[in-house]
């Protein structure tokens, strides 16, 4: 596997959130590029790590800050909060 070149960005939180929303819109299409999906996941992870919050959000932010990669974050999040997040995403718990 060839070495990947990485780019580090420093964005104001508000700008990162707008970029995240724009990527979400692009991902709504059937032809969404897998690279966009990856960028979306990474951006969501870093936005969450930059936030504070209380309760569930604070727990997820702490997990995000402690992770070194998006994959590590997602695995740690699923281990710690999988049942809770699964219940929240359940159709029975959604607003009509």
Domain boundaries, the chain: 13-91
Q: Are 25 and 45 in contact (CB under 8 A)?
A: no
Return the higher-pLDDT residue of 32 and 6.
6
Cα angle: 90, vertex 42, 58; to 5 degrees: 60
Helix axes 13-27, 34-50, angle to 10 degrees: 150
- Torsion angle of C-alpha atoms 9, 14, 19, 24, degrees rounded to 10: 130
Is the predicted pLDDT of residue 85 greater than 90, yes or no?
Answer: no
pLDDT bin (cut points 50, 70, 90) of residue 22 is very high
Taking residues 88-95, report their average pLDDT: 63
- Give the whole-angstrom CA distance, residue 59 versus residue 25: 27
pLDDT at residue 14 in the model: 94
Q: 28-80 pLDDT, tens per residue? A: 876 778 888 899 999 999 999 998 788 888 998 999 999 999 999 999 988 98
Task: Count CB atoms within 10 A of the CB of residue 25.
Answer: 9
């Amino acid at each position: 596997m060839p070495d990947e070149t990485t780019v580090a960005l420093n964005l104001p939180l508000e700008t990162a959130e707008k970029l995240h929303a724009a990527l979400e819109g692009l991902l709504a299409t059937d032809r969404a590029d897998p690279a966009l999906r990856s960028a979306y996941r990474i951006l969501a992870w870093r936005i969450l790590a930059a936030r504070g919050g209380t309760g569930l959000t604070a727990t997820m932010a702490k997990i995000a800050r402690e992770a070194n990669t998006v994959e590590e974050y997602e695995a740690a999040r699923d281990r710690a909060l999988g049942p809770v997040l699964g219940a929240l995403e359940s159709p029975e718990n959604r607003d009509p």
